Amino acid sequence: MNEKPGYYAIIPADVRYHEKLSDGAKLLYGEITALSNKNGYCWASNDYFSRLYSVSISTIKRRLQALEELGFIKRIVKYKKGTTEVEKRFISITPEVKNEPRWGQNCTGGGVKNEPENNTSINNTTTTLGEPELINFW
């Protein structure tokens, strides 16, 4: 396939580290974020994703279903008037995961008890190292 989007993909930690998502679903999520950059939603077809990643359409359907069931995406389908034929489909990224806390937010337990805090104010010793050496990377 010659056409590849040139946008950045974003895969947040709660998607990257989710144990119930396959690696392919995580990558598909990233592709959806890249395609959603411009308009806030993606309208790419299952066929487009299938050709892009060289997998079957049924694999794409399973990955989309997993992302939707876990609350990472929302799909809205618009049908042609008076039919069950799909006119357009919109996929949007949801702001939060249903029934699961975001990584690092609203998590129970917190840190390890009696563990000293990571406080840089106690690590304020002064060391004279001289002038920094400039390194040319080009």
Facing residues of 42 across strands? 91
How far CA 13 is from CA of 72, 113, 121, in Å, comes to 12, 25, 29
Q: Span 126-136, mean pLDDT?
A: 52
Using one digit for the tens of pLDDT, what is the confidence trace for 48-85?
A: 999 999 999 999 999 999 999 999 999 998 999 999 88
Per-residue pLDDT band at 95 (split at 50, 70, 90)? confident
Show the DSSP H helices in the chain as ranges.
13-16, 23-36, 46-53, 57-69
Report the candidate in 12, 5, 23, 8 with the shortest Cα–Cα distance to residue 97. Answer: 12
Choose between 21 and 84: higher pLDDT.
21
Residue with tokens 């040319």: 136
Which pLDDT value is given to residue 87? 87
Q: Could you give phi then psi for residue 58, rounded to 5 degrees? A: -65, -35
Q: Span 119-131, mean pLDDT?
A: 51
Domains of the chain in start order, with CATH, are 13-97 (1.10.10.10)
Q: Span 78-98, mean pLDDT?
A: 85
Angle between helices 23-36 and 57-69 (to 10 degrees): 80
Using one digit for the tens of pLDDT, what is the confidence trace for 25-45?
A: 999 999 999 998 778 899 999
Other beta carbons within 10 angstroms of residue 79's beta carbon come to 12
Residue with tokens 């299938």: 50
Residue 102 has pLDDT above 60, yes or no: no
* Predicted model pTM: 0.66
